[in-house]
């Protein structure tokens, strides 16, 4: 079992004929992902590496049964692309595009709340269930199938921490790059709820960073609802006070949103918090050994 993407995932790529869309479509197909359609307005009726291209997502869904969209569309068109996928009945949209205006995403967020479509991103690396499906830009070669879930605000830290886990022989159930923009789709709480319900996930790694309050809200949720062990890393312990760094969501106001404050909240909820990325794999191995012993 996995969360968000799996063997049943049928992908339509919005922007399939662009440079980014074409490059990552080929990588995802080579990984084994079922890419069944592409969308580029004005190029309907063509094909990309044998994949049919349509003018609209509605056509793609109707003709191929696509249930998941990945968006490689320029920022000024990306919000509209997400809404188009939702209107077509796509269950999950993974938006890789960065630089989408906050106002556009606020409107998207409000619209999606009224329907059944879920969003990962924007400004994210996507979702991968190792050995099964890769929807986005996460390098599949650093992943290996297993029983540790991961959710991260930082795309780069997805790659690094997954690589560290794989080197230790610790496989992953699903890895979710949620993105670091201030207005986004699925976040820590939603991912944690899914991992908690997944019988094939034994532990969850949560990777956060300075700014915002996503990690603090995750800590409160873990304390009340999560029994699966959680290990965390917060990027930014060495960030200069008052300095804005990294993602658009990495905004620190006074003592709110600091790495230390986030770590304190998570530790109070029983989460082991690493101080360096390389320490994450050590803490995961310790927690898994403890779980095996207790069982």
Read out DSSP for 25-71? HHHHHHHT--EEEEE-TT-TT-EETTEEEESSHHHHHHHH---EEEE
Distance CA 266, CA 101 (A): 31
How far apart are the C-alpha atoms of 68 and 137, rounded to whole Å?
Answer: 15
Q: Which of 109, 163, 184, 247 is catalytic?
A: 247
Q: Which residues contact 20 (CB under 8 A, 6 or more apart)?
A: 72, 96
Per the CB < 8 A criterion, the answer to whether 64 and 36 are in contact is yes
Query: Residue 12 belongs to what H/E stretch?
Result: strand 11-14
**CB-facing half-sphere around the CA of 64: CA atoms within 13 A:** 27
Contact 37/54 with Cβ under 8 angstroms?
A: yes
Asked whether the bond before 122 is cis by omega within 30 degrees of 0, the reply is yes
- Which helix (H) or strand (E) covers residue 171, if one does? none
Q: What angle do CA 67, 73, 79 make, to 5 degrees?
A: 75
Strand order in the sheet with 203-209: 133-136, 126-129, 172-177, 145-152, 203-209, 230-235, 272-274
CA dihedral 141, 147, 151, 152 (to 10 degrees): -50
Q: Is 225 labeled as catalytic in the residue annotation?
A: no
Helix axes 188-197, 214-225, angle to 10 degrees: 30
Catalytic residue numbers? Answer: 247
């Amino acid at each position: 079992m996995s969360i968000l993407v799996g063997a049943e995932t049928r992908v339509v790529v919005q922007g399939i004929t662009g440079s980014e869309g074409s490059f990552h479509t080929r990588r995802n197909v080579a990984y084994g992902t079922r890419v069944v359609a592409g969308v580029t307005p004005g190029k309907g009726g063509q094909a990309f590496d044998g994949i049919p291209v349509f003018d609209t997502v509605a056509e793609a869904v109707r003709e191929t049964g696509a249930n998941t969209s990945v968006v490689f569309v320029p920022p000024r068109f990306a919000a509209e692309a997400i809404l188009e996928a939702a209107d077509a009945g796509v269950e999950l949209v993974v938006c890789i595009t960065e630089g989408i205006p906050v106002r556009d995403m606020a409107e998207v967020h409000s619209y999606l709340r009224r329907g059944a479509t879920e969003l990962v991103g924007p400004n994210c690396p996507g979702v991968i269930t190792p050995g099964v499906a890769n929807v986005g830009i996460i390098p599949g070669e650093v992943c290996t199938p297993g029983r540790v879930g991961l959710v991260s605000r930082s795309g780069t830290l997805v790659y690094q921490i997954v690589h560290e886990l794989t080197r230790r022989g610790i496989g992953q159930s699903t890895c979710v790059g949620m993105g670091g923009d201030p207005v986004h789709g699925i976040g820590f709480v939603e991912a944690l709820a899914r991992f908690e319900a997944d019988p094939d996930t034994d532990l969850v790694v949560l990777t956060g960073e300075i700014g915002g309050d996503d990690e603090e809200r995750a800590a409160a949720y873990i304390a009340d609802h999560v029994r699966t062990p959680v290990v965390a890393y917060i990027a930014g312990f060495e960030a200069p006070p008052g300095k804005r760094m990294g993602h658009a969501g990495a905004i620190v106001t006074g003592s709110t949103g600091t790495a230390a404050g986030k770590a304190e909240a998570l530790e109070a909820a029983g989460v082991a918090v690493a101080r360096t990325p390389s320490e994450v794999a050590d803490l995961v191995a310790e927690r898994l050994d403890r779980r095996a012993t207790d069982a």
